[in-house]
Structure 1
Amino acid sequence: MASAATPRYTVPGLTVQDAGSVIELLQQRLHSLNDLHLTLKHAHWNVVGPHFIAVHEMLDPQVDRVREMADDVAERLAALGGVAHGTPGTLVKERTWEDYSVGRADALAHLGALDLVYTGIIQDLRSAIKTVGDIDPATEDLLIEQLRDLEQFQWFVRAHLETAGGTLATADAATETEAAEQAATR
């Protein structure tokens, strides 16, 4: 039986069943990227403290690039014959993670929380790359390109959280709230 993501047609060289699997995976990536760009913008609006301007201005290019990534994923999903579901209600209904919980806070607190957000997104993306690797090299290539950018953005975030000795302020954090608290008190 075909899933709801199984298209009626797809790109040459893929079966509709394989395309359906990739479409399901890409839909989760789309949710992840849409959530990330909103989370980054939220942090941009609510960051305060002595590092305000550096973090405020660092986040906007990340927001812009993540929005481009979401568009690329949605277009690939459509090219495979799928439907890109990008509404807020669908994102909230289908996401597998909790909403970002840090409100108005010190720049380091936001960066600590964002470090964990990036970790989760990058881990999920690496898993997705492994899954599509044998099925669709074009989608794999798209996701690898995005991985490079997301890892660079996490590096930018971590540069604010790292000591000269190479210790990460959020190393022991299991939740974004813990990470925010650890980073703000370092």
Structure 2
Amino acid sequence: MASKDLPHYTVPSLTPQDGAKVAAILQSRLNALNDLALTLKHIHWNVVGPHFIAVHEMIDPQVDAVRLMVDAIAERIATLGVAPVGTPGALVKARTWDDYAIGRATTIEHLGALDEVYIGIITDHRQAASDTEDLDTVTNDLLVGHLHELELFHWFVRAHLESVGGALSTEGATTEKGAAAAAGKAE
């Protein structure tokens, strides 16, 4: 990274290079969590079917919690001396995943797709936590705390997709549409 791209300051005990590296890791999580908050709200508005109210009301606290995560990450980026970027255009330009592809659908189809979304979010969040473990314990602690909540929300989703024997209706699915279809068939 060129010295002109480094922050003028960062937190004590980190070099500007390490501060910039941690901020870049966090920026990718900021993008992903902003996208997740919007996706969750989209699901909240577009679920239909017999379990509508249960899922509709389950999603809003997740939206609120993810928005708090977004704010904490953006503030940590700023604390590291880097400007967090939270504009929609920047998010779309930087993201490496496809836009959520399910519109109006049954609760179980949305939950099947959301299972895949959470798998991606949690996997990438775990990698970010691992990548910051030796660089910055404060950032690592922030990410690990987020993982606790994200994994809890994922469990809430999976409980709707699980049989009494523990089998997931989305087992083997690798895309949101595939998971939605598999969950819908099992309904």
TM-score calculated relative to the size of structure 2: 0.97
Give 2:174's aligned residue: 174
Give 1:94 shift.
0.3
**Paired letter, 1:36:** L
**Paired letter, 2:132:** V
CA distance in 2, matches of 1:171, 1:184: 13
CA distance in 2, matches of 1:43, 1:143: 25
Q: Residue by residue, what CA displacement relative to the aligned partner does 1:119-160 show, whole Å, maximum 9, x if unpaired? A: 000000110111100000000000000000000000000000
How many percent of aligned residue pairs carry the same amino acid?
61
Give the secondary structure class of the aligned counterpart of 1:185: helix
CA distance in 2, matches of 1:108, 1:60: 17
Give 2:156's aligned residue: 156
CA distance in 1, matches of 2:119, 2:61: 19
Q: Please, which runs of 5 or more residues in structure 2 have no aligned partner?
A: none
Give 1:144's aligned residue: 144
For the Cα contact (< 8 Å) 1:78–1:84, is it kept in 2? Answer: yes
Give 1:7 shift.
1.0
Distance 1:104 1:4, change over 3 A: farther
Distance 1:112 1:50, change over 3 A: same
Q: Please, which runs of 5 or more residues in structure 1 have no aligned partner?
A: none
CA distance in 2, matches of 1:35, 1:127: 18
Mapping of residues 64-83 of structure 1, within 5 Å: 64-83=64-83
Give the secondary structure class of the aligned counterpart of 1:10: coil
CA distance in 2, matches of 1:83, 1:4: 14
For the Cα contact (< 8 Å) 1:26–1:73, is it kept in 2? Answer: yes
Distance 1:5 1:91, change over 3 A: farther
Give 2:59's aligned residue: 59
Superposition CA RMSD, Å: 1.0
Range with greater deviation from structure 2 (4-13 or 92-101): 4-13
CA distance in 1, matches of 2:78, 2:3: 16
Mapping of residues 14-53 of structure 1, within 5 Å: 14-53=14-53
Give the secondary structure class of the aligned counterpart of 2:44: helix
Mapping of residues 82-93 of structure 1, within 5 Å: 82-93=82-93
Distance 1:6 1:44, change over 3 A: same
Give 1:127's aligned residue: 127
Structure 1 runs of 4+ aligned residues shifted over 2 Å read: 1-6
CA distance in 2, matches of 1:185, 1:79: 48
Distance 1:4 1:121, change over 3 A: farther
For the Cα contact (< 8 Å) 1:30–1:73, is it kept in 2? Answer: yes
**Paired letter, 1:177:** K
Give 1:6 shift.
2.6
Give the secondary structure class of the aligned counterpart of 2:10: coil
TM-score calculated relative to the size of structure 1: 0.98
